[in-house]
């Protein structure tokens, strides 16, 4: 039986996301505060389409890596990545950060994955600072806030914290027992979990993070790639297949 679905326009999709990496129309100005997440989905899409090397130049990829590292910020609550320089006049992040340009848990997750896709060596990563940042974001109930000691918290932010610890192959910044207990409090019956039983996450985070959680197989493969590059650890067996393993 002939498929009713149209032929997948791989080249058109690649051109579409590549254009977004150059700029968005004025109607999308609200996305400016989530630029790291936008970059993750665009660069990740190019990689999944097998077009990252053919549709971009080495100069493009180097500039993207440099810009992402400019978003790494350091301060009293540890180190992580801010969403973008939208709240500050300068491109590079100051040290220490202020209340307006500090690290963001979800954006740190997307930054690490994007750098892994771009084959960065992570020599600039402040690992001890990142562990401290994760520790500062964990609340007494085991959940994680999107920024240190403040902001929304639910299973999606906890998911990001787990992924970052796995990429680092370092769980010293997390009370795992408390985190697992929090997951248990989100159970609404014997089979389902509510992402926000007692908390509500912003629409921006929902827009950028949840599709990535749903693409679990793809997400696992990028997390595994990042773990190998960042921590050099590949000892644990992974069922994930790198979607670009043939490169």
Quick: pLDDT tens for 118-131.
Answer: 999 999 999 999 99
Helix 10-20 to helix 35-48 angle (10° resolution) is: 160
Residue 4 has pLDDT above 90, yes or no: no
CA distance 144 to 130: 14
Query: How buried is residue 115: exposed, middle or buried, by Cβ count under 10 Å (0-12/13-18/19+)?
Result: buried
Question: Which of helix, strand or coil describes residue 210?
Answer: helix
Average model confidence (pLDDT) across the chain: 78
Q: What is the pLDDT of residue 155?
A: 87
For residue 245, give both structure tokens: 């393993």
Q: Would you say residue 226 has pLDDT above 60?
A: yes
Domains of the chain, first to last: 34-231 (1.50.10.20)
pLDDT tens for each residue of 175-222: 999 999 998 888 765 554 545 544 433 444 444 444 444 344 445 556
| Percent of the chain residues topping a pLDDT of 70 | 71
For residues 40-55, average pLDDT: 92
Residue 51 pLDDT? 92
- pLDDT confidence of residue 91: 54
pTM: 0.77
β-bridge partners, 75: 78
According to the model, what pLDDT value does residue 73 have?
Answer: 92
From residue 209, how far is each of 17, 60, 114, 175 by CA, in Å?
Answer: 17, 25, 14, 23
pLDDT at 225: 65
Contact 207, 163 (CB under 8 A): no
Confidence (pLDDT) at 197: 42
- How many Cβ atoms are within 10 Å of 195's Cβ, its own excluded? 18
| 2 has a pLDDT exceeding 80 | no
Q: Which residues touch 231 (CB under 8 Å, ≥6 apart)?
A: 167, 168, 169, 170
**How many other β-carbons are positioned within 10 Å of the β-carbon of residue 53?**
13
**Angle, vertex CA 102, rays to CA 20 and CA 80, nearest 5:** 75
**Across 151-177, average pLDDT:** 91
Q: In the 8-state DSSP scheme, what is residue 3? A: -
Look at residue 6 in the predicted model and tell me its pLDDT.
80
Q: How many CA atoms lie within 13 A of 68 on its CB side?
A: 30
Q: Residue 146: what pLDDT? A: 92
> How many angstroms separate the CA atoms of 23 and 90, rounded?
18
pLDDT digits (tens, 9 = 90+) for 48-98: 899 999 999 999 999 999 999 999 999 999 999 998 887 665 556 556 777
Q: How far apart are CA 59 and CA 79, in angstroms?
A: 27
For residues 188 and 140, the answer to whether their CB atoms sit within 8 Å is no
């Amino acid at each position: 039986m002939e498929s009713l679905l149209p032929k997948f326009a791989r080249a058109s999709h690649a051109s579409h996301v590549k254009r977004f990496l150059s700029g968005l129309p004025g109607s999308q100005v609200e996305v400016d505060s989530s630029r790291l997440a936008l970059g993750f989905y665009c660069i990740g899409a190019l990689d999944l389409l097998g077009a990252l090397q053919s549709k971009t130049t080495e100069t493009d990829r180097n500039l993207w890596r440099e810009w992402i590292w400019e978003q790494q910020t350091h301060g009293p609550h540890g180190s992580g990545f801010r969403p973008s320089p939208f709240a500050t006049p300068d491109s590079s992040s100051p040290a220490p950060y202020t209340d307006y340009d500090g690290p963001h848990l979800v954006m740190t997750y997307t930054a690490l994955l994007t750098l892994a896709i771009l084959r960065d060596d992570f020599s600039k990563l402040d690992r001890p600072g990142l562990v401290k940042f994760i520790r500062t974001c964990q609340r007494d109930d085991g959940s994680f806030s999107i920024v240190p000691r403040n902001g929304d918290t639910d299973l999606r932010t906890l998911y990001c914290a787990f992924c970052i610890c796995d990429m680092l192959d370092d769980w010293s910044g997390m009370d795992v027992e408390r985190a697992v207990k929090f997951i248990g409090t989100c159970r609404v019956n014997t089979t389902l979990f509510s992402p926000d039983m007692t908390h509500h996450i912003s629409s921006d985070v929902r827009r950028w993070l949840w599709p990535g959680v749903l693409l679990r197989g793809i997400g696992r493969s990028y997390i595994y790639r990042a773990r190998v590059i960042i921590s050099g650890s590949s000892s644990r067996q992974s069922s994930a297949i790198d979607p670009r393993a043939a490169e």
